[in-house]
Amino acid sequence: MSRELRLTSHRTRTERPYALVLHAGAGGRVEELSLEDQANYGAGLRRAYEAGERVLESGGTAEEAVCATVAVLEDTPLFNAGRGAALTASGRAELDASVMTGDGRAGAVAVTTRIKNPVYAAQKVMSESDHVLLVAPPEELAVSWGLELVEPEYFVTEARLKQLENVQARQLEASRHGTVGAVALDRAGRIAAATSTGGMVNQADGRVGDTPIIGAGTYARDGIGGVSCTGEGEAFIRGVVAHDIVSRMRYLGQSLEGAVSATFDHELTSRDASGGIIAIDHERNVIIAHNSPAMFAAYRDGNDIVTLT
């Protein structure tokens, strides 16, 4: 029998001609971080939100906004994406990311080890190739696309090394919820979503979760809505969670909140799985929902940027 999990939602509707919401995972804080570092979670979320909002305010596209937002989160070592990502069983950072726009374009990368910002690699797959998903994209291709490369050690932080050590010594339970993402609706009504992750701490080398799987961890459709997910990746893949939410709105006429609640009930809680999502519909309604104990996120409520830490 699956345990009962409580769904917690935060929702708002922006009066601005655009909308943006971001998340930085549905798990708890990294215990191995110093108290000073832990105090910076809110500041990191705010910087990322402001980066995406500047794009939208200046008339940029939803695609540009979500990529700018996620890139800041990837550069912030507090979160499980880019620098500071969770490490595999062998101590490597293997990074996944995806981008989808509401007109049906999508791109994703998995098991990248040298591209500084995987979200931009996913965007390049979408815009510069005939493919949707590339696994371990060659360095030569990344260079030809103008992407910045770093040594694999760039992604590895002392806090994550200590976390891996504690998990392997069975002194700490492995978190299954670390991911970052953003969803935006621009002035022209276009929707986009992007997601990026380092996966689960101590995962098998080569494991790929829901983040780069279009429809599972990321989905967008103009005129309906966009979704970015975080949580137990295998459950999100089996339930095709991001697509399921948008499909409930598209085919059943459910509201954003109703679709999110139904998908959680049928595809996550019933599987004894936990996680969270962020979503925006075509009317600029914003929702943050999770059945995990906590979720890092940011959104605007009136004149204030609200950060959940």
Active site amino acids:
179
The partner residues of 283 in beta bridges, in order of sequence, read: none
List the structure tokens of 263.
């998908």
Cβ atoms of 307 and 24 closer than 8 Å: no
How many angstroms separate the CA atoms of 6 and 264, rounded?
Answer: 10
Phi-psi region of 280 (alpha: psi -120 to 50; beta: other; left: phi over 0): beta
How many angstroms separate the CA atoms of 112 and 118, rounded?
Answer: 7
**Which amino acid is located at 94 in the chain?**
E
Contacts of 98 (CB under 8 A, 6+ apart): 106, 107, 108, 109, 122, 194, 195, 196, 211, 212, 213, 214, 217, 218
* Positions of E strands within the chain: 8-13, 19-23, 95-101, 106-112, 133-135, 180-185, 191-197, 218-221, 225-231, 275-281, 285-290, 297-301, 304-308
CB burial class (10 A; 0-12, 13-18, 19+) of residue 173? exposed
How many angstroms separate the CA atoms of 73 and 97, rounded?
Answer: 12
Backbone torsions φ then ψ of 74, nearest 5 degrees:
-65, -30
How many angstroms separate the CA atoms of 197 and 217, rounded?
Answer: 11
CB burial class (10 A; 0-12, 13-18, 19+) of residue 248? buried
